[in-house]
């Protein structure tokens, strides 16, 4: 099929390359000229395992191209909209400027019977509004909302083999036509048994935000237990193991630590709260404010542990911050707990040196006040405290005895509960985890 993808960021670039990998003819459109130039030359503009390979293959096959010229979508039958929906400045609500602009610029190039398939995460009610906008323009194109559930770090595999597909479609014959087109584009996944939920716009939009709200709640739940564990001497990691054996609860997403960040969970729970309030249903998701508050308290807890370890004054102390990305296998620093901790410590006067295998160049742009090194040994050398805030394998695999030789004071705060306390303590380190003794 001929497919266009509008917005080629963390979601759209992967979606475009994956659709080409599945045999479709794909054109990716973005307003960012640098990003388009990189993608068009087969280079991934961000770190995502497996993306360079499918980009190169797609471009080499002639099935994948990128441009800033919206008119290139003309031949496509399905137009995936994957532009950003960030949090509005100073508000909780989602900023829909990019979605609206993308649809406006797409409309002149739509042919009758084309399908616009929204992938961006949007507040419930957006699809219906956009469908009206398209119809009012005189276009006979269809609109579906087809939310995306990929995880960064696993984005390629999650796109090619998703754990479910959700189509939000209009009622009647239009909905059937939209479903037929989506079935064709996702034929490979569907034929291998991927569950499919076909529903109305509002349900599809809500599936996406409620899934992220649930994940955020699960993380904040275990972090709340970590807070209680800290006051009782209990071990939240053992607690998570034990409750996780209950299949109704499950162990995944029960890792207590410095909490969730990234370009989605934090802004999505806030946008959901704002939208529910607009709908007069603020009380239904009021708990998400507590989920957010617990999450932010964990970042402060890590900072407090560092400060306490110096008797209340971190000024001039050298702190090695291991991790900048919001999670491993990603260079994404959007709302990253790791970077937040580094910046807070710097703000308190600590001599912070931060390292990350992939996220340094992004962090340098937003946080030029921090000192960075790509070399873990350099970060550790002379450190008065070490803080692990992203659980990259590189940090999990550190040999405590070797690391101890580099630092000035062997004090480690394991903000992701990803190190073995016994191994670190027996190598002479004072070890502090979050919610574990
Ligand atoms: N990053 C992720 O893992 C996932 C993201 N999502 C959702 O997907 C959407 C996109 O997220 P990301 O890819 O992370 O954002 P991003 O910020 O990395 O990418 C958005 C892209 O859209 C481009 N853009 C903005 N306005 C445009 C326009 N008018 N025409 C063409 N391109 C335009 C930007 O230049 C940028 O490259 C958001 O709604 C997000 O919540 C959903 C699931 C997973
Ligand atoms: O809407 C989105 O953009 C995506 O948001 C999340 O994916 P992602 O942000 O890539 O990362 P996750 O693996 O969900 O991790 C999010 C954050 O939670 C943290 N986390 C995760 C799991 C856990 O047990 N504890 C924990 O603190 C991670 O460190 C990270 O900061 C969802 O998992 C995806 O399904 C969704 O598509």
Verify whether residue 264 is a known catalytic residue.
yes
Which pLDDT score, from 0 to 100, does residue 171 have?
92
CATH number of 209-292: 1.10.1040.10
**Closest ligand 1 atom number to CA of residue 264:** 41
Report the candidate in 231, 235, 160 with the shortest Cα–Cα distance to residue 436: 235
DSSP letter string over 311-338? TT--TT-EEEEE--SSSTT----TT-HH
Per-residue pLDDT, 185: 98
Domain boundaries, the chain: 2-198, 209-292, 296-433
13 lines ligand 1 (CB under 6 A): no
Return the residue whose CA atom lies nearest to atom 21 of ligand 2. 253
Task: Match domain 296-433 to its CATH number in 3.40.190.10, 3.40.50.2020, 3.20.20.120, 3.40.50.720.
Answer: 3.40.50.720
Distance CA 104, CA 139 (A): 12
In sign, the C-alpha dihedral spanning 166, 167, 171, 177 is negative
Q: With the C-alpha atoms ordered 303, 309, 313, 319, is the resulting torsion angle positive or negative? A: negative
User: Going residue by residue through the chain (437 aa), what tens digit of pLDDT does each one get?
Assistant: 999 999 999 999 999 999 999 999 999 999 999 999 999 999 999 999 999 999 999 999 999 999 999 999 999 999 999 999 999 999 999 999 999 999 999 999 999 999 999 999 999 999 999 999 999 999 999 999 999 999 999 999 999 999 999 999 999 999 999 999 999 999 999 999 999 999 999 999 999 999 999 999 999 999 999 999 999 999 999 999 999 999 999 999 999 999 999 999 999 999 999 999 999 999 999 999 999 999 999 999 999 999 999 999 999 999 999 999 999 999 999 999 999 999 999 999 999 999 999 999 999 999 999 999 999 999 999 999 999 999 999 999 999 999 999 999 999 999 999 999 999 999 999 999 999 99
Query: What pLDDT score was predicted for residue 369?
Result: 94
Q: Is the CB of 148 under 6 A from ligand 1?
A: yes
Q: Can you name the CATH fold of 2-198?
A: Rossmann fold (3.40.50)
177 is in an annotated binding site: no
Q: Which of 311, 337, 346 is nearest to 415 (CA)?
A: 337
Given the CA of residue 29, which atom of ligand 1 is nearest to it?
31
CA of 215 to the centre of ligand 2 (A): 7
Q: Return phi, psi of residue 249, to 5°.
A: -95, -55
List b or e across 354-393, with b for residues whose CB sees 16 or more CB atoms inside 10 angstroms. Answer: bbbbbbbebbeeebeebebbeebeebbbebbbbbbbbbbe
162, HSE (Cβ side, Cα atoms, 13 Å): 21
- Let me know if the fold of 2-198 is the same as that of 296-433: yes
């Amino acid at each position: 099929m001929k497919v266009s993808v509008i917005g080629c960021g963390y979601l759209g670039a992967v979606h475009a390359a994956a659709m080409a990998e599945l045999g479709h003819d794909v054109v990716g459109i973005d307003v960012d000229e640098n990003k388009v130039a990189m993608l068009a030359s087969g280079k991934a503009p961000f770190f995502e395992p497996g993306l360079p390979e499918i980009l190169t293959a797609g471009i080499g096959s002639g099935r994948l191209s990128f441009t800033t010229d919206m008119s290139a979508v003309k031949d496509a039958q399905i137009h995936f909209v994957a532009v950003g929906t960030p949090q509005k400045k100073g508000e909780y609500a989602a900023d829909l400027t990019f979605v609206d602009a993308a649809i406006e610029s797409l409309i002149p190039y739509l042919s009758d019977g084309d399908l616009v398939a929204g992938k961006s995460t949007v507040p419930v009610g957006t699809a219906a509004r956009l469908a009206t906008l398209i119809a009012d323009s005189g276009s006979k194109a269809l609109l579906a909302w087809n939310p995306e559930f990929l995880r960064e770090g696993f984005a390629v595999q999650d796109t090619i083999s998703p754990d479910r597909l959700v189509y939000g479609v209009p009622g009647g014959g239009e909905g059937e036509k939209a479903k037929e087109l989506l079935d064709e584009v996702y034929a490979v996944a569907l034929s291998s048994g991927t569950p499919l939920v076909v529903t109305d716009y509002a349900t599809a939009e809500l599936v996406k935000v409620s899934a992220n709200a649930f994940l955020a709640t699960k993380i904040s739940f275990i972090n709340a237990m970590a807070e209680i564990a800290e006051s009782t001497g209990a071990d939240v990691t053992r607690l998570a193991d034990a409750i996780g054996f209950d299949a109704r609860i499950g162990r995944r997403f029960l890792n207590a630590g410095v909490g969730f960040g990234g370009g989605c969970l934090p802004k999505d729970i806030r946008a959901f709260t704002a939208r529910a309030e607009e709908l007069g249903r603020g009380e239904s998701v009021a708990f998400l404010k507590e989920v957010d508050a617990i999450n932010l308290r964990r970042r402060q807890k890590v900072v407090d542990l560092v400060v306490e370890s110096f008797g209340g004054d971190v000024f001039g102390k050298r702190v090695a911050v291991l991790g900048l990305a919001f999670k491993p296998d990603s260079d994404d620093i959007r709302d990253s707990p790791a970077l937040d901790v580094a910046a807070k410590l710097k703000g308190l006067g600590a001599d912070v040196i931060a390292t990350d295998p992939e996220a340094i160049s992004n962090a340098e742009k937003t946080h030029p006040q921090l000192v960075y090194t790509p070399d873990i040994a350099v970060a550790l050398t002379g450190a008065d405290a070490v803080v692990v805030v992203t659980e990259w394998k590189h940090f999990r695999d550190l040999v405590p005895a070797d690391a101890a030789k580099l630092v000035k004071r062997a004090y480690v705060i394991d903000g992701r509960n990803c190190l073995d306390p016994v191994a670190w303590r027996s190598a002479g380190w004072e070890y502090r985890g979050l919610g574990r003794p």
